Amino acid sequence: MSLDTLPRTIRDAVIITRKLNIQYIWVDTLCILQDSALEWARESAKMDGIYSGATVVLAAATSKNDDEETFAR
């Protein structure tokens, strides 16, 4: 997946992850089918394990959509 094809919020998260020298990133919107209630229910039940094992958690809590700039550069 090319970085240029990602929405800005995800692209910013990837850039920050790289700057922190972290090898992996979990992005809910890429890892869980958003329009599948069954998959969302199954995968969201695993979130405590995913987030509790995280080194860093980034959230675009105030963005209006997935292409809005979320981090100051």
Structural domain count of the chain: 1
Would residue 32 count as lying in a domain?
Answer: yes
Domain that holds residue 39: 3-52
Model confidence band, residue 69 (pLDDT cutoffs 50, 70, 90):
low
Long-range interactions of 4-7: CB distance < 8 A, separation 24+: 7/65, 7/66, 7/67
Best CA proximity match to 27, nearest among 54, 45, 63: 54
Cβ distance 27 to 21 under 8 Å? Answer: no
Would residue 69 count as lying in a domain?
Answer: no
Would residue 73 count as lying in a domain?
Answer: no
* pLDDT tens digits, one per residue of 33-53: 888 999 989 998 998 988 898
